[in-house]
Amino acid sequence: MKNRSAGLFVVCAAVCAVVLVSCSSVETREPLFTDISGDWILSAIEYDASQYDGYDGAGEFLASLEQDRNSLGVIFSADRSGEQDFVVYGFAGVNSYNGFLSFAGEPLLVNPPAATLVAGPPDAERFESLFLQELYHISRAELSPDGSSLVLSGSGDSGMTFRRFRLAETSWHLTALHTGSAVVTLSSFVDVPVLTFGEGGTLSGSTGVNRLTGSWSEGDEARGLVLQQVAATRMAAPDAERAALEADFLALLAGTAGYRISASSLTLCSADGTTLLVFSPAK
């Protein structure tokens, strides 16, 4: 009897040990985490057309955005809000949206993305509905080894591929600037300043009067921007209006510390986030 009791005790102890080890391993399991911080432009989307009444126009719509000189495309931006959490926001084709994504083994948008309610062309609205539904149902996030592309995927073969937004090799023309009390849109007849962010950190463009050169680099913080050695030729402006615009433009460039992007613009801002200069794509 004693031997049987001892045997039962050994078996129970072994089972308890297995259970404890199992529980311990569950508690200490590292969650799957991918740092998706930054701004991303949608380049491809895979989906089950049968779930969207046979809609198969997503590729055509994305191609039309690529050709639109005033559009950056469909945007997905993510900012860290905790160790495993992100605030996500962007442009879905017609409206801006925002939501929340958390990594707890698998990424999950806690709530359906909220969007503004601007009406748009039927094809754009159809695409936007598809995009937001797919975004809500993602279950995995994967970065390419070099960090240049991001894939958000859901069940089956559905998924969205994004390319990282890069300032390099982009050109912009000025549409608005901060005057000290407000951000003012430029008159259409003014020769507007232009900025080109070259590969390798070269900066070039025009002040609207003179040629501009300099250098640029990404700051230490997300969306940080450092402009250095900005200089311009010294031709006289043809009138006081353009002379004032040139002076204001160069002064605001000197105060630039970061940038933001939206559906159709690049905004240069100060260290405290104040809007200084607003540009549209110069495709």
Which pLDDT tens digit goes with each residue over 51-108?
Answer: 898 899 999 999 998 888 788 899 999 999 888 889 999 999 999 999 999 887 666 7
DSSP the chain: -HHHHHHHHHHHHHHHHHHHHHHHHHHHPPPP-----EEEEEEEEE--GGGGTT---HHHHHHHHHH-TT---SEEEEEE-SSSEEEEEEE-SSSEEEEEEEEESEEEESSPPEE------HHHHHHHHHHHHHHHT--EEEE-TTSSEEEEE-STT-EEEEEE---TTEEEEEEEEE-SSSEEEPPTTS---EEEE-TTSEEEEE-SSSEEEEEEEE-SSTTBEEEEEEEE--PPPSSHHHHHHHHHHHHHHHT--EEEE-SS-EEEE-TT--EEEEEEE--
Q: Which CATH number fits domain 38-164: 2.40.128.270, 3.40.50.2020, 2.120.10.30, 3.40.50.2300?
A: 2.40.128.270
Task: Return the pLDDT at 29.
Answer: 40
Which one is predicted more confidently, 1 or 145?
A: 145
Q: Is the pLDDT of residue 214 over 70?
A: yes
CATH fold match for the domains 38-164 and 170-281: yes
Task: Return the pLDDT at 275.
Answer: 96
Q: Is the pLDDT of residue 7 over 70?
A: no
What class does CATH assign to 170-281? mainly beta
Would you kindly state where each structural domain of the chain is located, as residue ranges?
A: 38-164, 170-281
What does the pLDDT look like over 124-146, one tens digit per residue?
A: 999 999 999 999 988 889 999 99
* pLDDT (average), residues 257-263: 93
Which one is predicted more confidently, 250 or 81?
A: 250
What does the pLDDT look like over 177-196, one tens digit per residue?
A: 998 889 999 876 678 999 99
